Amino acid sequence: MGIEAFLGLDDEEIKRRVEEERRKIPKIPGTEYLEQRLMKFKIPEWQILDYHAHHNQDLLTQFLEQHPYDEAREVIIEGLREKYILAKLLIEQKILKANKIIASS
């Protein structure tokens, strides 16, 4: 299963969330805003969750099922969705920036 399916993100939902996040990005050039938003996911707990979401979804599912509160599970999944969308936008921004540099040279 891909990360998108694991997180419950179909193409329409990804597109909607990307557009929603795009509207939040300040109209200044650069990637600092997205990089800053992604900083909260640099702590080891989020890195472990993200790794397992990408590479060992069965283990992550077992871990989430052991949480006694549905809210905790939903917070974790929503956080992973947010990281996925922000990382996707950051990659897009970096590609656009690289293309502009190539075009101007």
Q: What is the DSSP string of 52-97?
A: HHHH-HHHHHHHHHT-S-HHHHHHHHHHHHHHHHHHHHHHHHHHHH
Half-sphere exposure of 31 (CA within 13 A, CB side): 16
**Average pLDDT, rounded, for the chain:** 89
What distance in Å separates the CA atoms of residue 57 and residue 63, rounded to the nearest whole number?
10
Which pTM was predicted?
Answer: 0.80
Residues spanned by the domain of 93: 3-104
Average pLDDT over residues 41-52: 95
Of 7 and 67, which is predicted with more confidence? 7
Average pLDDT over residues 22-43: 86
Residue 80 pLDDT greater than 70, yes or no: yes
What distance in Å separates the CA atoms of residue 102 and residue 82, rounded to the nearest whole number?
30
Average pLDDT over residues 33-57: 94
What distance in Å separates the CA atoms of residue 70 and residue 62, rounded to the nearest whole number?
14
Residue 66 pLDDT greater than 90, yes or no: no
- Predicted confidence band of residue 51 (pLDDT cuts 50, 70, 90): very high
Residue 29 pLDDT greater than 70, yes or no: no
Count of domains forming the chain: 1
Q: Which residue matches tokens 């979401």?
A: 53
Structure tokens at 39: 């900083």
Residue 68 pLDDT greater than 80, yes or no: no
What distance in Å separates the CA atoms of residue 11 and residue 67, rounded to the nearest whole number?
29
